[in-house]
């Protein structure tokens, strides 16, 4: 876990039940879910294997160890998990070095949260080396802390990443709004007891108790997040 703006961790959202906003990265703030799949397809093609497009829904949003392990088992490719993890990170870094498109509404939402001094954390299953590269585009000043998938004992879909973020900010997980795009991330946030806003990227996700589904981040602002907390506690 890396703290980038420590002072924000002591602040709360005055006049609201909302104490903090915890944001996923890939597919939520940056349009990179397709990048990961493209890298996977390219690597396995080099190993003589073709990935079934239906597997994309299996590997999206999960920790790299799970996604990579699944693909190795499904294809029978002659590569170790450590070797594949290295190649995946390298391939992804090359792609984000060329272009890193933000999701619609991401820049506006981050700016609004910062302007109102809402404690905000970036919580990703991606490794630290990837998060730090992406932060140069998102703006590290927008986040009080960042939690990477290789910095917690268990990453998504376990609650550990979101519980770690809430503890780092000194807030109650039940009074945190999480923004996610995959079922894996939603499971982690809900297991942590957070209120969840879902902007589905690859697979559709149904609304549920303490889970609101929207079409894009352009529908999400501070008033929206505060309203969810007060209406659905």
* DSSP alpha helix (H) spans, the chain: 33-46, 56-59, 64-75, 81-98, 106-115, 128-138, 160-169, 183-191, 222-231
What is the H or E stretch that residue 196 is in? strand 195-198
CB atoms within 10 A of CB 182: 27
C-alpha span between 176 and 163 (Å, rounded): 10
Give the residue numbers annotated as catalytic, written as ranges: 24, 26
d(C-alpha 35, C-alpha 20), whole Å: 29
């Amino acid at each position: 876990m890396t703290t980038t703006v420590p002072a924000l961790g002591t602040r709360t959202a005055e006049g609201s039940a909302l104490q903090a906003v915890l944001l996923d990265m890939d597919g939520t703030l940056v349009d990179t879910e397709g990048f990961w799949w493209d890298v996977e397809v390219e690597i396995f093609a080099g190993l003589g294997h073709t990935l079934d497009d239906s597997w994309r829904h299996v590997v999206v949003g999960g920790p790299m160890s799970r996604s990579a392990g699944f693909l190795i088992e499904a294809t029978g490719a002659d590569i170790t998990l450590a070797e594949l993890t290295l190649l995946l990170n390298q391939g992804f870094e090359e792609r984000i070095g060329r272009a890193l498109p933000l999701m619609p509404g991401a820049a506006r939402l981050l700016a609004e949260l910062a302007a109102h001094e809402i404690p905000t954390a970036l919580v990703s299953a991606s490794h630290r080396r990837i998060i730090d590269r992406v932060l140069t585009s998102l703006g590290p000043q927008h986040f009080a802390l960042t939690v990477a998938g290789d910095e917690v004992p268990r990453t998504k879909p376990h609650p550990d990443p979101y519980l770690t973020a809430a503890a780092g900010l000194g807030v109650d997980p039940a009074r945190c709004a999480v923004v996610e795009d995959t079922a894996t991330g939603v499971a982690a946030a809900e297991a942590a007891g957070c209120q969840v806003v879902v902007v589905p990227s690859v697979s559709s996700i149904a609304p549920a108790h303490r889970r609101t589904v929207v079409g894009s981040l352009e529908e999400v602002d501070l008033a929206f997040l505060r309203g969810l907390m007060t209406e659905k506690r």
